[in-house]
Structure 1
């Protein structure tokens, strides 16, 4: 099956910070240690990609995805009764047009935190979407599970 992120999920992701439901990301470096972080700039970039604006181009997340591009994120909005995970492969993008698009689509509070646009963009190609313990979408050829 192919990935086509539903509009409900895209809206939830794009509004996560203002809704008080910041998205948690995990990445794992070469040493095997997982690391968690909240990224308020997470946004739907396409039907099968997410984007993140990294305010600091020297963040550990960027170093970890160079060693191991596999990442996961979790979204949960209790009052809306909506929760899901997304697994994917992340890459740093320094293309000026992509960076501008991702920065401009970020929440204003996040833009103000990097008014000089010193950060960079990350694009995540979605591998699978998990909801209620089941894989509900997977990239063609993805054999991963919900575990």
Structure 2
């Protein structure tokens, strides 16, 4: 990597995230509620959205994760595939999609199994601006600071 290139989410990490649901391994997403209490849930819709962003389609637009995104709250994501010796810890800030085009794209990259649970697209399109990715990918250490935390 040259000095002019900004760090990005490695391609192999993006691919791993994108097939998580198909492998039966939804990603755990953590955020805080309005009182500051931690909340965790499995999310099958997490996908690589860009080299520095992930997307999540939250079927409940009034739910806690959508609320955390509306407040640009911090989030943490955890992926674990013991058989593949892979554990990924990802941190960043969630935000709601900026416009209708971004919202539509988040829905379109969401796996079909998740789309079928919200065919009317009533959910919330969430973008995670990734700060860090760390852990192990098939037994090889991964540590990337994507953005200044």
Bin for the TM-score computed over the shorter chain? 0.7 to 0.9
Picking from 107, 127, 141, the partner of 2:148 is 141
SS of 1:12's equivalent?
helix
- Kindly report the root-mean-square deviation, in angstroms, between the aligned alpha carbons of the 2 structures: 1.9
Query: How many residues get paired?
Result: 141
After superposition, where does 1:20-31 map in structure 2 within 5 Å?
Answer: 20-31=24-35
After superposition, the Cα gap between the structure-2 partners of 1:140 and 1:106, relative to the gap in structure 1 and judged at 3 Å, is closer
After superposition, where does 1:45-124 map in structure 2 within 5 Å?
Answer: 45-67=49-71, 69-93=73-97, 95-124=99-128
**CA deviation profile, 1:71-121 (whole Å, cap 9, x unmatched):** 000011111111110000000115111111111111111111001111121
SS of 2:13's equivalent?
helix
1:68 CA drift (Å) = 5.7
SS of 1:63's equivalent?
helix
1:67 CA drift (Å) = 4.1
- What TM-score do the two structures reach when normalised by structure 2? 0.86
- Give the unaligned 5+ runs of structure 2: none
- What TM-score do the two structures reach when normalised by structure 1? 0.87
After superposition, the Cα gap between the structure-2 partners of 1:66 and 1:105, relative to the gap in structure 1 and judged at 3 Å, is closer
Q: Could you tell me which residue of structure 2 aligns to residue 3 of structure 1?
A: 7
SS of 1:25's equivalent?
strand
**CA deviation profile, 1:48-70 (whole Å, cap 9, x unmatched):** 10000111211111123344611
Alpha-carbon separation, structure 1, partners of 2:75 and 2:9? 17
Q: Could you tell me which residue of structure 2 aligns to residue 145 of structure 1?
A: none
- Give the unaligned 5+ runs of structure 1: 143-147
SS of 1:27's equivalent?
strand
